[in-house]
Amino acid sequence: MVAMTQTPALPALWPAPHADGTVHATVTVPGSKSVTNRALVLAALSAEPGWVRRPLRSRDSQLMADALRAMGVGIEETVSSSSGDGAGGEAWRIIPAALHGPATVDVGNAGTVMRFLPPVATLADGDIRFDGDPRSYERPLGQVITALRKLGARIDDGGRGALPLTVQGGGALEGGTVELDASNSSQFISALLLAAPRFNQGVEVRHVGAALPSMPHIRMTVEMLRAAGAQVDTPEAGGEPNVWRVAPSALLGRDMVVEPDLSNAQPFLAAALITGGTVTVPDWPHRTTQPGDELRRIFTEMGGSCELTDAGLVFTGTGKIHGIDVDLGEVGELTPGIAAVAALADSPSTLRGVAHLRLHETDRLAALTAEINGLGGDVTETADGLHIRPRPLHGGVFRTYDDHRMATAGAVIGLAVGGVQIENVATTAKTLPDFPRMWTDMLAGSGA
């Protein structure tokens, strides 16, 4: 009898909707992943219960919540009618507790979970094991592991400097001064700062290496620490360059409302830019540390216009897209969407300062080059970015490499190019739940 071999099923393909006209819609963007996950960590380490309102409910935030629960933190998910400032909707009540093991944490492929929680786990009584998706084994974590060991932690990583690993928590961490090279990810700095108020000596983190990427995310960490009652000294406040100090202290329980995720607004703003329409994003903050706020400047330079009104950010396109020469070092997560728009522009673009994207959910520079060129584009990788020469594009399969921002980039191209099919669009659930419905609602003019 001949054994039959089964052909592996191909990932589902999603036909990216093609825009037949201008887009006019209001799109309500879910909460910021970066803010939600930082808020969860700080609330878990606080001396009293707190609230996180309008949190992002996505794979990354659920992984963070589940990980904290595994270590003993209480997280009650409720729907509230209103907080003190009228922010109703979903709310999570965080009830701090003595952290303990044994426990196993699934980080998925979430950089915030795999980097922010090992420092927290050093404060637990017992072993905390960290594991995740295969790609998580390849993402840089060695600088965090080495730094924690220098601060007194015991970590068993089999000598890999990467996942999987076990933090042998002793209930406390001495802390002190540590040097590390965070040029591959600003999350290395944030990881140590977030848990530092609970270290016996606090922490002094000194970055040694090339320029730090994604500085807005470090500023976000610092502002949220200060709002929780921590004392933080930073380079911006007149301190030493590339040095951050956090004093030991008790953190305050807070009632915090999470801002919309401005980076996740990118594909919807791009739709207005590409089609010459208008998209309104409610609740866009007038002041924020989110890197996505730079979209106002970048997409305006590429041919649109925007106005911050009582209704939110109103972004309008002309249907004409101009190329751009821009350093995205501080806002690297915006690169896939900008590259997608640049591939449809009327002149070449150069995106610089993002060599660290090779170490993200996938090698984003290689992935963007392969997929845009696979649709007929002309993209060349540079040492620290991409050079994009617009050419007429055609339909085809746009692979995502399990990267949510690759999926939304493909959808943006599909607006202007018929026949684009997105492989595994479900990966957008990492930070943008129900993206396909939001996208089709936007095209229907109903928003989301």
Sorted by sequence, the CB contacts under 8 Å of residue 316 that are 6+ apart come out as: 272, 277, 278, 304, 305, 306
Give the C-alpha distances (Å, rounded to integers) separating 326 from 100, 306, 354, 378, 387.
46, 19, 10, 18, 11
SS3 117: helix
- CB atoms under 10 Å from CB of 275, counted, come to 21
Catalytic residue among 259, 333, 371, 423: 333
Where do runs of H (alpha helix) occur along 130-179?
142-150
Whole-number Å distance between alpha carbons of 416 and 413: 6
- CB atoms under 10 Å from CB of 4, counted, come to 5
Task: Read off the tokens for 305.
Answer: 């216009």
333 in catalytic set: yes
Whole-number Å distance between alpha carbons of 47 and 96: 7
SS3 114: helix
Taking a C-beta distance cutoff of 8 angstroms, is the pair 345, 339 a contact? no
Q: Please, what is the angle between helix 335-342 and helix 266-275, to 10°?
A: 10
Name the residues annotated as catalytic: 333
